[in-house]
Structure 1
Amino acid sequence: MARKLIVACLAAVMAFTAAACSSQGNSTGGSNSPAPSSNPSASSSASPDATQDKVTFTLFKGVAEAKDINTNETTIGKILEDQTGVNFKIEHLVGDLNTKIGTMIASNEYPDVLVPDAAIDAVLKAGAFIPLDDLIEQYGPNIKRVYGPYFDRMRADYGGKIYFLPFSTQVGEYTPDPNINQGAFWVQRRVLKEAGYPQIKTLDEYFKLIEDFVAKHKDEDLTGFLALTHDWRFFAISNPPMHLAGYPNDGNVIVDMNTLEATTYAASDDTKRWLQKLNELNAKGLFDKSSFVDNYDQYIAKLSSKKVVGFFDYGWQTGNGRNVLRDAARKDPAQDDFVYFPLPITYDGTHDQYLDPPGYTANRGIGITKSAKDPARIIQYFDNLLKEENQILKSWGIKGETYEVDDKGRFYRTPEQIAKIDEAFNETFGFKYYDWDWPQYGSNSTLSDGNALSPGFQPEVFQMSLTNEDKTILEKYGVQTYADLFDKPDERPWFPAWSIPKEQNSPEKIWETKKDELAKKYFPKLVLAKPSEFEGIWAEYLQEFGKLDTAGYEKWTTEQIKKIMEVSK
């Protein structure tokens, strides 16, 4: 199931089981998964649309990843406006996603373009997206080229029509990510340095490492372990049992590679073991209790405060915080101690599956709403964005400014270019705003000339982007990339299972909603309780969980996976 056809980031299962998809920065100096982009010829290759009157459309993104902005205030967005005459006024989520989308539905008023993220099912049920089939047929040659191989599945998933464009289409050869934009147990580098760079493979070893470090630094007022639970991002605390058991992010289920049987784990021994470890950590004063009340911005602020020793989360979700630390370390190598290092932790210390295999995320995307003033103009903008020159623009930038080309045609970045592409540059240039949530090649795609779409995935760029401190710690662990620390992903054609579409009021969707409600009610109780009370609360949780039709959910999911496997043959 590899995420979004090499997903790259996406995604968070609708209620909190899946990596949601909007990557946030990799260690190569790019913004999210695709990394910086821009193309020299882009500004000179204006399309016929550029002769039309300029227009501004509204776009709402259901993620709180950046400040609101007009795309033409960025370098990339201005180039695209010169080509098409189109600007987008982007609004990002503030507050609760479901509440925001619910307000739109109740008023029957929408932005011109909508990226509803985990609330996409509610948007589809409300009939807020218009069908795109005719528009694509008339105005979308590049949309056909990029998304054509997935049209049948896109239509089958949603009643025979195409209502949105996903973010996960694989184009060209698969390019592996040398960084960790997926799940990992992260720890400050200084912790590993002080301990002599030990091999940390199990959860017990990981927490012992943190406990020992905090005990030696009592005067620093450190947080041993922090968790994210806000809104739909609750998956950051509910997903670890799946990974600790050696499985990738399939959302609510783990899937047997031989039988294809899908099994839920929310009430499994693996989940009990995870929550009991957090309970023990809390009893020792090493767990941040406010993890259950902090919002996402507060969480990111804590990650960048240098006070948090360790956490579990997905690279794409924590890039905003981790990049602050990386940028500081580039300016002052002494700050490298506070940069986080990813570890592939499992219960038994053996085969891990944190890295996503190639996949296709079917339930996240961008759509044009029934409130849109000029759908044809919007779809033309999308199609223009999918020209390869503009995919280079959004991913690499402008030749001579943010990347170079050697005599063999290989794209690379100079040390000076890498140094200047920090979070602030990502915003002004537009890498941050065009990194995800648009029609695009999947992050692991390859351009027609063999270059990686994503600069961070280009071997030349990755190696050049490494600081001396990066090279030192990688050498200590005998690897050349961060991904080398992790086992290679097993092939899973259905991946990710969490993206299999479900109707809004279906038994499967109802099961997920009720399961999420139970987890949000009981997980805080289980983690924050006195250790002597844990077993009693767990028994109560199991009793409530037993009232759900889990067998029906597992049966349905297994059937869907087997159907996908048949299509994939």
Structure 2
Amino acid sequence: MKYGSNKSKAAALAAVTALTVVLSACSGSQSNNNEAAVSPENTGNAGAAETPADGKIVAEPLTLTDFVQMSGNPAPGMKSFNDMAAYKETEKLTGIHIDFQHPTVGQEKNQFNLLMSSGKYPDIIEWGWGDYPGGGVGAMNAGVIIPLNDYIEKYAPNLSKLLADNPDIRKDVSTDDGRIYAFPFLRSDSYLRTYQGLAIRQDWLDAVGMQMPTTIDEWHTVLRAFKEKDPNGNGKPDEIPLLIAKDTLLNFSNVFLNAWGTTGRFNLQDGKVVFGPVQPAYKEFLQTMRSWYEEGLIDRDYAGTDGKQKDAKWTGDLLGASELAVGGGIGKYTTAMAAKNPKFNLAGAPYPTLNKGDKPVLGQREPIFNGVGAAITKDNKHVVETVKWLDFKYGEQGHMLFNFGVEGKSYEMKDGFPTYTDEIMKNPDGMSFATAIGQYAVPFGGPFVQDKRYQEQNASLPQQKEALNTWMAVDNDGLLPPLTFTNEESSRLAAIMADVNTYRDEMFDKFVMGTEPLDRFDNFVKTIQGMGIQEALEIEQAAYDRYLKR
């Protein structure tokens, strides 16, 4: 797909839409009475639909307020998104200035909660609405944010066309009753939705004369070789064959657990929702982890290893395998070790299976819409203008600005491909890719369609490209889609799962480290059942059934 500055708007819309045609199908219903109360006809600003002659959204300067997180690693001197080139250009083109309210890094959730309890809201809130009780539905029902269906239909032609052309996307961004609560961040391609998996030292495999492991048994053999055959070549038995991350292993990418066809949370089996840790297969998984730990194949300090310690183990040439992100793992460590150890070579490993030749069934894959989006609050006095401003990001100019920045500065068009400049890819000041591009654009998240061509350059190393292709070779049919819960369901589910997840994590460590014998697994299951897991399963199943009927 090409986005030249001379393309027509129709072609641009078609191109943006083409980025987003990889989902399951079905369309959402229309709005309920709640939406009618805040429809364009009832807001008093429907006249703002008039477009000024200069093409801007407003004839007079307008300032809107927007609560949104900044990157955790902004470029020097960047105090707000107003210092970002994409937003500067957007202000010039739309006539709307944004007063950004950025929560303090590390305090984002606390400050969001304080904002919610204040009862006074900015015009726009960009957030992962799964954090709000009842999600986007709860926020609408509480009167914090407004339903957007009618506004999108009348004043957001770019997003309207995308949703009309892709009813599967509309299904995912809609609630069970058909309402849309936010302008969504959309990951349109599996290449964008997968970014993490299992990684291994390919140079260590070469040193011990072994092939890439694909089964649990092969992993056991490889890990023993890493422990016994001195693959780092320093003459010391200091190798750590495997570092596992409990939270990731259980809740997210299921690095080894997927081999048993389940997860550490809710997933689907034969169309029904199950909770992995109470399944018999989970005991078999724990037995394997316990055996590996006892043999010294798993880092003895895995439970207490934080990000900095993990960095030290990788860059200290001590670690053989762990779960890694494609950019913040494979890319980071490959770059960091280039001068220190030219032989250092990380490879993405296939999710293991129990039987040779089987296709992995569960891995890491983000949904196309994960609940992160820009919502308009009930205090907004310029809803129509806000809708138009947000819709700009789904059109040609906005798409290019927020994925790539400014042509001629952060990217250049080469044979129709938006190619990041050396300032981004080889920053002369030593900035990372994320920091360098952050001066111009924010391709890693926001209310727009993420472009695959961003990730193709972010993950530009051969090891990264191969890892992504490897990690995507998973069925993932057992992953649940994003679900919508009622306020009551959300509250009850949160109460049950807070206890269940805490207990599950505590017992995981005890089982793996051997402080709790695995013949007490049945007692573990009974305890979780006593915490109300059956009620939680019924809530999840009801929400999944509603999702199927959208």
Could you state the TM-score of these two structures normalised by the residue count of structure 1?
0.69
Q: Is contact 2:69–2:103 with CA below 8 Å preserved after alignment?
A: yes
- The 1:456–1:61 alpha-carbon spacing in structure 2 relative to 1, beyond 3 Å, is closer
1:520 aligns with 2:505: yes
Render the CA deviation track for 1:441-461: whole Å, top value 9, x for unaligned.
2x4xxxxxxxxx321566xx6
How much does 1:70 deviate?
A: 1.1
**Alignment match of 2:321 (pick from 290, 293, 310):** 310
- Partner of 1:48: helix, strand, or coil? coil
Q: Is contact 1:101–1:116 with CA below 8 Å preserved after alignment?
A: no
Q: Structure 2: 5+ residue runs without aligned partners?
A: 1-19, 24-53
Aligned to 2:162: 146
- Partner of 1:226: helix, strand, or coil? coil
Aligned to 1:81: 91
Render the CA deviation track for 1:295-320: whole Å, top value 9, x for unaligned.
6676567666654432235x3xx633
Q: Percent sequence identity over matched residues?
A: 16
Aligned to 1:272: 283
Counterparts in 2 of 1:5-20, with a 5 A limit? Answer: none
Q: Structure 1: 5+ residue runs without aligned partners?
A: 8-45, 444-452, 475-479
Q: Is contact 1:306–1:338 with CA below 8 Å preserved after alignment?
A: no
1:344 aligns with 2:346: no
Matched AA of 1:515? V
Matched AA of 2:354? Y
- The 1:130–1:381 alpha-carbon spacing in structure 2 relative to 1, beyond 3 Å, is same
- Partner of 2:103: helix, strand, or coil? strand
Counterparts in 2 of 1:349-360, with a 5 A limit? Answer: 349=356, 350-354=358-362, 360=368
CA distance in 1, matches of 2:418, 2:132: 36
CA distance in 2, matches of 1:63, 1:390: 19
Aligned to 2:15: none
Q: Is contact 2:194–2:364 with CA below 8 Å preserved after alignment?
A: no
Render the CA deviation track for 1:318-351: whole Å, top value 9, x for unaligned.
633443224336x649446154533321233421
Aligned to 1:114: 126
**Alignment match of 1:90 (pick from 102, 109, 121):** 102
Q: Is contact 2:85–2:406 with CA below 8 Å preserved after alignment?
A: no
Aligned to 2:400: 392
Matched AA of 1:162? I
Render the CA deviation track for 1:423-453: whole Å, top value 9, x for unaligned.
6243233289622431222x4xxxxxxxxx3
1:212 aligns with 2:220: no
Aligned to 2:258: 243
Q: Is contact 2:244–2:299 with CA below 8 Å preserved after alignment?
A: yes
Q: Is contact 1:254–1:265 with CA below 8 Å preserved after alignment?
A: no
Counterparts in 2 of 1:66-77, with a 5 A limit? Answer: 69-77=79-87
Aligned to 2:116: 105
**Alignment match of 1:542 (pick from 512, 525, 528):** 525
**Greater shift in the superposed pair: 370-379 or 269-278:** 370-379
**Alignment match of 1:252 (pick from 266, 272, 284):** 266
1:497 aligns with 2:512: no
How much does 1:202 deviate?
A: 1.6
CA distance in 2, matches of 1:300, 1:109: 42
Counterparts in 2 of 1:127-138, with a 5 A limit? Answer: 127=142, 128-138=144-154
How much does 1:536 deviate?
A: 4.8
Matched AA of 1:191? W
CA distance in 2, matches of 1:432, 1:273: 49
CA distance in 2, matches of 1:74, 1:541: 51
Aligned to 1:320: 328
Over aligned residue pairs, what C-alpha RMSD do you find? 4.4
- The 1:362–1:457 alpha-carbon spacing in structure 2 relative to 1, beyond 3 Å, is closer
**Greater shift in the superposed pair: 547-556 or 133-142:** 547-556
- The 1:115–1:176 alpha-carbon spacing in structure 2 relative to 1, beyond 3 Å, is closer
CA distance in 1, matches of 2:467, 2:294: 33
How much does 1:504 deviate?
A: 4.1
CA distance in 2, matches of 1:520, 1:109: 38
Aligned to 2:182: 164
Q: Is contact 1:167–1:436 with CA below 8 Å preserved after alignment?
A: no
- Partner of 2:102: helix, strand, or coil? strand
How much does 1:406 deviate?
A: 4.9
CA distance in 2, matches of 1:226, 1:52: 58
Aligned to 1:283: 294
Render the CA deviation track for 1:162-188: whole Å, top value 9, x for unaligned.
222332364xxxx552x8934522223
1:57 aligns with 2:65: yes
**Paired positions, count:** 482
How much does 1:466 deviate?
A: 4.0
- Partner of 2:333: helix, strand, or coil? helix
CA distance in 1, matches of 2:435, 2:60: 28
- Partner of 2:432: helix, strand, or coil? helix
- Partner of 1:185: helix, strand, or coil? strand
CA distance in 1, matches of 2:190, 2:334: 22
How much does 1:63 deviate?
A: 9.0
Which has the greater radius of gyration?
2
CA distance in 2, matches of 1:156, 1:322: 37
Matched AA of 1:505? E
- Partner of 1:344: helix, strand, or coil? coil
Q: Is contact 2:315–2:333 with CA below 8 Å preserved after alignment?
A: yes
- Partner of 2:283: helix, strand, or coil? helix
- The 1:107–1:524 alpha-carbon spacing in structure 2 relative to 1, beyond 3 Å, is farther
CA distance in 2, matches of 1:280, 1:271: 14
- The 1:234–1:375 alpha-carbon spacing in structure 2 relative to 1, beyond 3 Å, is farther
- Partner of 1:379: helix, strand, or coil? helix
Render the CA deviation track for 1:201-233: whole Å, top value 9, x for unaligned.
123422442343244257485544334456xx6
Q: Is contact 1:223–1:307 with CA below 8 Å preserved after alignment?
A: yes
Could you state the TM-score of these two structures normalised by the residue count of structure 2?
0.71
- Partner of 2:145: helix, strand, or coil? coil
